[in-house]
Amino acid sequence: MKISIASGKGGTGKTTVAVSMALALRNHGLRVQLLDADVEEPNSLLFLDDDIAASEDFGIMVPTVDREACTSCRACRDLCAYNAIKMLGGSAMVFPELCHGCGGCIRVCPDDAISEALRPVGVIEGFDKDGFVFRQGKLNIGEVLSTPIIRELLHRDAPQPVDVTLVDASPGTSCPVIAACNPSDFVLLVTEPTPFGLNDLALAVEMVRELKKPCGVVVNRAGLGNDVVHRYCEEQGVEILMEIPFDRTIAEQYSRGTPLVTAKPEMTEAFVALYDRIKVITGGGQ
């Protein structure tokens, strides 16, 4: 089973839930893979007592133009939806930072003037230890396209058999989040009981429904605000699967990099029960 943990905004506790659920399930005897797909600023590793053991460069194929062969037909420029190709000086010029690597320009070029070259955009790194697999994507500084590395991270097979894969998505509802949620069997949305939390939760629920994925909600900092999130979930038929109380101790331990299930061991069974409920909803992820 593959479960993505997402949120409509940052700071709701998405990483807290992802890491704690991964550790709880590992301690429960399951083989777990945790993928940090917040590739612009991955931080799941801060809460794990392990170091990166392996790192691999990742890149995408981008076009290069043979200026002598180019006849300025503009077919490649007209095809590119991302304005990565412009006509300058009588031939096509490529802006690789804008290229999504689809390869369409090569196919439409009538003069065979376009080939491809690898452009590094980031790294995929992690470790494997005692039935626990961790991987994170990390985008190079200055890169703007995160979806290719997210797709690569999620579509690679785990180096060892696992029972469940948990994906820590980036905040929001934009393309990187969609790339992190689309391959999953279930999307777990983390929110907080405030008007801001409700606004962003509604956007996230709309996104998940467009993807036609089953979803449920974890309310973090329960007791902090009001009941607007509960009323919304009831009206929309979205099940609240778990609540994490508003607790100063949790915040203090979080600031020290201590996972929730370490700070509050009694929460371990709550995360196992959360996983069991998701299995019921999805029919086991099949």
What residue ranges in 66-155 does DSSP mark as E strands? 85-88, 91-94, 114-129, 132-139
pLDDT value, residue 158: 87
What are the pLDDT digits (tens) for 22-33?
Answer: 999 999 999 999
Q: Give the side-chain half-sphere CA count within 13 A for 186.
A: 26
Check pLDDT > 50 for residue 281: yes
Check pLDDT > 70 for residue 285: no
Determine contact, residues 178/243, Cβ cutoff 8 Å: no
Determine contact, residues 108/92, Cβ cutoff 8 Å: no
Check pLDDT > 50 for residue 238: yes
Fold for domain 59-120? Alpha-Beta Plaits (3.30.70)
Check pLDDT > 80 for residue 284: no
Q: What is the mean pLDDT of residues 266-278?
A: 96
Check pLDDT > 80 for residue 225: no
pLDDT value, residue 49: 86
Q: Which of 61, 43, 230 has its CA nearest to residue 138?
A: 43
Check pLDDT > 80 for residue 77: yes
Check pLDDT > 70 for residue 257: yes
Domain boundaries, the chain: 2-57+122-282, 59-120
Check pLDDT > 50 for residue 172: yes
Check pLDDT > 90 for residue 251: no
What are the pLDDT digits (tens) for 115-170?
Answer: 999 999 999 999 998 889 999 999 999 888 899 999 999 999 888 899 999 999 99
The CATH homologous superfamily of the domain defined by 2-57+122-282: P-loop containing nucleotide triphosphate hydrolases (3.40.50.300)
DSSP annotation string for 198-258: HHHHHHHHHHHHHHT--EEEEEEEETSS-SHHHHHHHHHT--EEEEEE--HHHHHHHHTT-
Check pLDDT > 60 for residue 286: no
pLDDT value, residue 221: 92
Compare 250 and 182 and report the one with higher pLDDT.
Answer: 182
Determine contact, residues 69/95, Cβ cutoff 8 Å: no
pLDDT value, residue 240: 97
